[in-house]
Structure 1
Amino acid sequence: MFQKSLVLIFLLLAGVTLRAQQAGVYNVKDFGASGDGVQLDSEAIHAAIDAASQAGGGTVLFPAGEYLSFSIRMKSNINLHLGAGATLVAANMDEHNGKYDDPEPNMWGDSLHYQDFGHSHFQNSLIWGENLVNISITGPGLIHGKGLQKWGNPRPGLGNKSIAMKKCRNVVLRDFSILHGGHFAIIATGVDNLTIDNLKIDTNRDAIDIDCCRHVRVSNCSLNSPNDDALVLKASYALGYAAPCENVTITNCAVFGFDEGTFLDGTYQTTQQVAPDKGVVTGRIKLGTESNGNFRNITISNCTFEHCRGLALETVDGSVLEDITVSNIVMKDILNAPFFFRLGSRMRGPEELPVGSFKRVLVDNVIVTASNPQYGSMLMGIPGHDVEDIVFSNIWIRVKGGAPASQALVEVPELENSYPDPQEFGDIPAWGFYMRHARNISMHHITLETEIPDARPAFILDDVKGVSFSDIRVVNQSEGPLFKLKDVENLDLQRVSDLDDRNEKEVKSLNL
């Protein structure tokens, strides 16, 4: 009787498993995964993926448990679903018998150095896919990149990314969390129709990199990355040509620079002072650095920044950056330039690429508090190549202030060919906005305040052609002038606080 009962239970369980698979759900435990965090489950996970793929597609389910794995190779029409209580753990090759897939060759990376190692290789990841369609990773579970490296791989077998997708189409990443994600928690390169929604990432380098992608929707994500960028759009040469990053919306997201791990555990600590590049803690939203392809048709809206760097828009490797809108943003405790808009000529790429352009950028409804008196906001082109057609409206910026009068005399270096970051330029002689090599700049309904009086000018304009200021309010500045001008054409000032007749004459006299 007992044996008959066991047989019956087995048949019932087998029937449940069969029905689940028939419904398109493939439980990794049915393929031998232990989920105990001790046994490697890589083979069982691949067996489930293969079974789903052979059936034309399906959901590979990770129920509650801890699944230790090396590289997981995605296939088309597969959904990896991390159930409640499920953790996928990146194994360490020094502790477990196995390794990550080797980084594939990429002549556009290693031999020519057009972008760094992490942007040039994808298969040395915990989860990766290439030339796939209709794939997704979903569920409330966690990816823990425990065994991943945060730098380039010094030897084969090491992994340095949690999720890498290259030349895929119709990709959805939704609802899960990532802790300690490696060099990139998520990197998507050459992906069309990408949706990233409701992710929580608390990581040791970049949270999300979107490189050479089109038709992208990023929403409802919370990203903590004190050691590198939180959310960055790039257009590198990793595909072997200058591919664009375009038609992107980023909305309802939050980026932070809290100590790693303290976002997901809810303690929100801020003891870390600098990032590994020796600058202040990172965690920002950025367009650029790698910028061979063009950036077009991009909106950033309804986002918050906290204890991190500010918003950076950069083109330095030949890309056209245009048609960008930024709206409804709150930045709290910004640690360097609240706005860093840069057109440069680093030109890391094929020799035939021309210097790029930077134009048609609208910024509206932004509140900023900034705590580092070394910086101000920076809008900078290079000689012969202006940033142009930029509008700031409805902006309130409160900075710590306190910089001495000597800082107002600092000459900002051009650094036409340098890496684009505010820290490269040293102390900034304006506490509000420093503009150089710019054209057609409009600023309306702007309030600038300092907590401590600051001896620097609120605005410095150098080689600016066509600039309109209206409804400008400056609070708590010390003896320094509101404006310092050099080679400025077509300046229009209307309703600027504390700019009486004497100061207006002074402004005009300073246009040297």
Structure 2
Amino acid sequence: MNRRDVALGLAAGVAFLPTSALPFLGHAARRFDVRDHGARGDGVAIDSGAINAAIEAASKVGGGTVILPHGRYLCFSIRLQSRVTLLLGEGAVIEAADPARHAGRYDLPEPGIDQLYQDFGHSHWRNSLIWGDGVEEVAILGPGMIHGIGLTRDGPGARWKKQAGERPLSMQGMTAAEIGHLEPDIAAMQGLGNKAIAFRNGRDIHLSGFTILKGGHFAILATGTRTLRIEGLTIDTERDGIDLDCVRDVRVERCRVNSPNDDAIVVKSSHALGRAVAAEDILIRDCDVLGYDMGSLLDGTRRTSQEIAPDRDRVTGRIKLGTESNGGYRNIRIEDCRFTRCRGLALETVDGGVMENIVARGLTMRDVTTAPLFLRLGDRRRGPQGTGIGAIRHVMLSEVDARGIDHRFPASIAGLPGHRIIDVTLRDIHLAYRGGGTAADAARVPAELPDAYPEPSMFGVLPSWALWARHVERLTIDRFTAETATPDARPPFLFDDVATLSVRQTPLGN
């Protein structure tokens, strides 16, 4: 321990933060306390101007660490710059201001973004509490908190209006007024903030050790970002947790994300950058995704009163690849993660992208609200003219233990006629269902629904209870066990247009 270590730790309001804990050691040499630039930290004064001044000062001298000591910093947009570490000390809270109650507004959405193939939230970054565009060597570190109380979770949908595939089938019964409440028009978004943290492009970004409560539409949105590290975060939010869109070389580790209303950790490859860009070389490891009532992860109560998400399906949570999938996905690993009271793993490509070389292993799931495993190749084609049907190939799912699964939704692998999902291995899988399927359920023949929005519930109750596979080539099932708590009248397996099927060691209980 040296004097620089101690000084940095004390200034940040923490007992000790060694420089070795900083991802960019060069930032430790120059420290900028936001109080020296006019920040009050009293929860009353708007402090974003002072924080931005401290960031500007650090940038002008080639970089440094901007320190927020203990306090509550009421803020509109904070603009990150390259070679700056933002350090939230013990007891430091950045609170998102509310334009309806506080004097000021968030930075306006970027002009000239074509919001045709992805929604408003994916199409803009500057209308956020904290944002960086093209920044390099940037870190946001804890142990403090970001409280997005003044952010909105809402925003317009894509201008693409094919209807089929625009929204989940579970939303079909909603009125125009109900949809309009969730998706206000663009004019209503001017001056509002709808993301806690947003990055467009840039590289060498580190997020570590802090907490986000109520993060808006996205607690974290990273688009086109390379060499991104997200470690040790706790996120308890009302919509998406961590969105990784068109990114490359990303690692997400030891994070807890509670998101009952939307996806917890999701990889996408949208058209937000104006072209199709693959998401590739991503590792998601040792993370918890959950669907408890919002806020109840952080307060420790883990309440379960909410049953239905805004899409009128059961609570969400989960890790997902999709739905936006123009550029596809390559080389994704999901390891040693835990799913609790949420939907299971979803791997979806429906907008022309190719999904390949996907490995998921060591997954534990409890109280699974839809299918534990869901692979879907669809034909939504939300993209420019000429967008074709994508592909899914080379997927390995192993060491999965899922229990308390909704009986309606077996593990599902669903390709399209003439477009099979290719080369899927299920190994060391154990699934425990609640049971209760009927003979009428067993007789169902699910529609193809090629252009529908992909969700496990899209096909209704499926005609088998453990595994349903349709339009698949080279499916290997090895050491697959399943059971039901109560009798189920459906067969455990149903295979339709499955070429080259290998099944070994699959004891079943009913």
TM-score of Structure 1 vs Structure 2, range by shorter chain: 0.7 to 0.9
Q: Tell me the equivalent position of 1:309.
A: 343
Residues 55-110 of structure 1, C-alpha deviations (whole Å, 9 max, x = no match): 1111110000000000011100011110000000000001110000111124431x
The equivalent residue for 1:145 is 148
How far has the Cα of 1:22 moved from its partner? 9.4
Cα offset, 1:428, TM superposition: 1.1
Say whether the 8 Å CA contact 1:106–1:120 is kept in structure 2. Answer: no
SS of the equivalent of 1:98 reads coil
1:114-133 equivalences under 5 Å are 114-133=117-136
Residue among 210, 214, 218 paired with 1:176: 210
Q: Does 1:191 align with 2:225?
A: yes
Secondary structure of the structure 2 residue equivalent to 1:53: helix
- C-alpha contact (below 8 Å) 2:246/2:268 kept by paired residues: yes
| Aligned counterpart in structure 2 of residue 373 of structure 1, from 392, 407, 416 | 407
Alignment of 1:59-458 (within 5 A): 59-109=65-115, 113-152=116-155, 154-458=188-492
Structure with the bigger RCO (C-alpha within 8 Å, sep 6+) is 2
The amino acid that maps onto 2:470 is R
Structure 2 residue identity aligned to 1:266: G
Question: 2:61 pairs with 55, 64, 72, which one?
Answer: 55
Counterpart code for 2:147: H
In 2: Cα distance, 1:118 partner to 1:462 partner: 38
CA separation of 1:106 and 1:437: change in aligned 2, threshold 3 A: farther
Structure 1 residue aligned with 2:45: 39
Aligned residue type for 1:313: L
| Deviation sequence 1:453-486 (CA, Å, 0-9, x none) | 100110111111110111011102xxxxxxxxxx
Maintained 8 Å contact 1:80/1:136: yes
Residue 505 of structure 2 aligns to a residue whose secondary structure is: strand
**Once the 2 structures are TM-superposed, how far is the Cα of residue 405 of structure 1 from its aligned partner?**
1.1
Report if the CA contact (8 A) 2:260-2:292 is conserved: yes
Residue identity (%): 49
| SS class of match (1:44) | helix
Matched-pair contact (CA < 8 Å) for 2:226–2:250: yes
Counterparts of 2:72 and 2:30, CA distance in 1: 23
Larger radius of gyration: 1
3-state DSSP of counterpart to 1:45: helix
Q: 1:295 to 1:74 in 2, by over 3 A?
A: same
* Aligned residue identity for 2:35: K
1:282-337 deviation per Cα after TM superposition (whole angstroms, max 9, x unaligned): 00100011000020011000100000000000000001100011111101110101
The corresponding residue for 1:23 is 29
Instruction: Give the drift of 1:23.
Output: 3.4
One-letter identity of the residue aligned with 2:95: V
List alignment gaps of at least 5 residues for structure 1.
1-15, 477-512
Structure 2 stretches of 5 or more lacking a match? Answer: 1-10, 13-26, 156-185
Aligned partners of 1:336 and 1:370 also within 8 Å: no
Give the Cα–Cα distance (whole angstroms) in 2 for the partners of residues 35 and 122 of structure 1.
25
Note the alpha carbon deviations across 1:387-441, whole angstroms, 9 max, x for none. Answer: 1100001111100011111111112111101111112221111111111111100
Q: Which residue of 1 aligns with 2:158?
A: none
Contact 1:108-1:239 within 8 A present in 2 as well: no
Runs of 4+ in structure 1 deviating by more than 6 angstroms, as ranges, are none
Query: When the two structures are aligned, how many residues end up with a matched partner?
Result: 455
CA RMSD of aligned residues (A): 1.3
> How far does the alpha carbon of each residue in 1:258-294 deviate from its partner, in whole angstroms, 9 at most, with x for none?
0000001111111100000000000010001100002
| Equivalent residue letter for 1:256 | L
Structure 1 CA distance, aligned partners of 2:323 and 2:132? 25
In structure 2, the partner of 1:481 is: none
